[in-house]
Structure 1
Amino acid sequence: MKPEFETLPLVDNAGGHRFELSVNHATAYMEYGERDGAVALFHTEVPAQLEGRGVGTALVEKVLAEVERRGQPLIPLCPFVTSYLKRHPEWQRLVAPAYQRWFQPSPQA
């Protein structure tokens, strides 16, 4: 995560079922829900004025750290989160067992 985002607080907007990260008066967010005791991440949205600056990555990293802090398994349904997890296998330890297969190498043909 870029240093400029490290001190920004992640807000859990429980009423809106989303995690939020505000940067320069704009808010990126990740929609989530609870499923069988796990945190399901559905969708990530980064405003156009924040795109390409690493805000989405900072949001994902902060959310993953929060999920880990809560001690809940993760259900990564958001394509942005899934893509991040594939590039950063160290976070795959949070993924609920039923979803681990998404991150296993494909069998060779």
Structure 2
Amino acid sequence: MSDLDIQLDREAGRFEAVVEGHSCVLDFTLEGDVVSMNHVGVPKAVGGRGIAGQLTRHALDWADDQNLKVRARCPYVAAWIERHPEYQELLT
């Protein structure tokens, strides 16, 4: 799956995409110039399609555009960054 319509809800601290009626999210908190990526959630009904990876890439690209450092509190985000070393420079 590609070209997800990912929306940023800065007040709620989340990126969200709705896939087949299911809410897929990456939750974060922002403290100064550090964004902590806390949780990625994709319902099983739409799992296995790379949605979590797309949310993660989108959130990391946003952090880079905003000149933010990233704290990968979510194990999925941490593992994704390990597999995509071009994003490791964002880590704090």
Note whether the superposition's TM-score is higher than 0.5.
Answer: yes
8 A Cα contact 2:24 2:41, kept in partner: yes
CA distance in 2, matches of 1:57, 1:45: 11
1:31 partner letter: D
8 A Cα contact 1:13 1:19, kept in partner: yes
The number of residues matched between the two structures is 92
8 A Cα contact 2:16 2:25, kept in partner: yes
Aligned-pair Cα RMSD in Å: 1.3
- Structure 1 unaligned spans of 5+: 97-109
Residue 49 of structure 1 corresponds to: 45
CA distance in 1, matches of 2:78, 2:72: 6
State the identity %: 25
8 A Cα contact 2:33 2:67, kept in partner: no
- Structure 2 unaligned spans of 5+: none
Query: How far 1:36 moved relative to its partner?
Result: 3.6
Larger Cα-atom Rg: 1
8 A Cα contact 1:10 1:63, kept in partner: no
Does residue 21 of structure 1 match 2:23?
no
2:25 partner letter: Y
CA distance in 2, matches of 1:45, 1:78: 10
